[in-house]
Amino acid sequence: MAQRRSAHARVVVKTAPPILQTSFRAFDRVTNTSTRTSSAYFLVDLIRQKPPAHAMTEPAPVPPISPPPNPPTALPLHTLPAPFTSENLTPITQGAEALVYKTTFLTPSTPAVVKYRPPKPYRHPTLDRRLTKQRLLAEARSLVRCKKEGVNVPGVLAADWEMGWMVLEYIDGRTVRRVLDGWAERHSSGKGEGGDGIKELMRRVGREVGKIHEIGVCHGDLTTSNLMVKTTPRNDKEEETEEALSGDVYLIDFGLTTASIQDEDKAVDLYVLERAFAATHPAAEELFREVLDAYGESYKGAKGVLKRLEGVRMRGRKRSMLG
């Protein structure tokens, strides 16, 4: 009887899955024959045995992890450091990187613009201070260089890179975006001519962009919102619009500026402006040709930049097509 059980156990061992055969060999090294036979039957019975009822039930659902508490209110981020106070600050705009206010500087009759880069709570404090200092200094250096070379940009009056603020000259006027929107509205309603005036404005835009590229400065964010036309405030909106067509063009917001003499970087600058025209001013998209024509005549290397612009356009179309 024992021999038949032993023979049957050997058959069970040979036909068992590999993982069980490994277990049987481990038992062989530490037990005798009778124990091996019992072990083989025990393992076979164990694998044939049905699991208990509680093992078939699904585990209890784990409650979701509660989200972290909200960061403290952003009110301190909107409070400028000394020597500025909220009493003489008028908000102008708020971007992704900075807050812009109108204020006075040195004397109550001297208007100025304060550009403040508040701390970013999602960045490590050390990294945040380093990035704020680098970007503020890069913007200030580009503005000082452009001003020295005769480019129409706001002058730098003061800066504190440790606290993240910079005081700039206040440019009283309208953005090119507002001027184009007003021209398109009047042009569609047939209330004004403005054809020659708006074309001349676009040529002045092209010449100003050519000036910064000639001295090796790339703006980084050329849009019609970052181009201003200096005007005198008037009560009559139509008169102010007409004056805007003949005002001086100023470049503002050099927060993403870089120093580069490469045609590729300059062509990307122009491509960003071209895309801004197409997206924001579809009615004035054809006027961008005036910008490029004036740019091509603004300095010696401009023709090479326009040739490189064709390649940038092709890559941009391919990226848009492929997503």
Q: What is the pLDDT of residue 323?
A: 45
Q: What's the CATH class of domain 79-169?
A: alpha beta
Same fold, 79-169 and 173-322: no
Helix (H/G/I), strand (E/B), else coil: 173: strand
- Give the other-Cβ count within 10 Å of 176's Cβ: 27
Report domain extents, the chain: 79-169, 173-322
Q: Which residues 6+ apart lie within 8 Å of 4 measured at CB?
A: none
Q: CB–CB of 249/228 below 8 Å?
A: yes
Length of the chain in terms of residues written = 323
- For 237, counting Cβ atoms within 10 Å of its Cβ (0-12 exposed, 13-18 middle, 19+ buried), the class is exposed
What the block records as the tokens of 290 is 């005036």
What the block records as the tokens of 323 is 């997503």
Low-confidence ranges of the chain (pLDDT < 50): 2, 5, 73-77, 318-323
- For 183, counting Cβ atoms within 10 Å of its Cβ (0-12 exposed, 13-18 middle, 19+ buried), the class is buried
Give the CATH architecture of domain 173-322: Orthogonal Bundle (1.10)
What are the angstrom distances between the C-alpha of 247 and each of 18, 109, 179, 240? 88, 23, 11, 10
Q: CB–CB of 203/176 below 8 Å?
A: no
Whether 221 sits among the annotated catalytic residues: the reply is yes
Q: What is the pLDDT of residue 48?
A: 58
What the block records as the tokens of 30 is 């530490």
d(C-alpha 114, C-alpha 116), whole Å: 6
CB crowding 7-38: b at 16 or more within 10 Å, else e = eebeebbeebeeebeebbeebeeeeeeeebbe
Q: Which of 160, 221, 263, 265 is catalytic?
A: 221
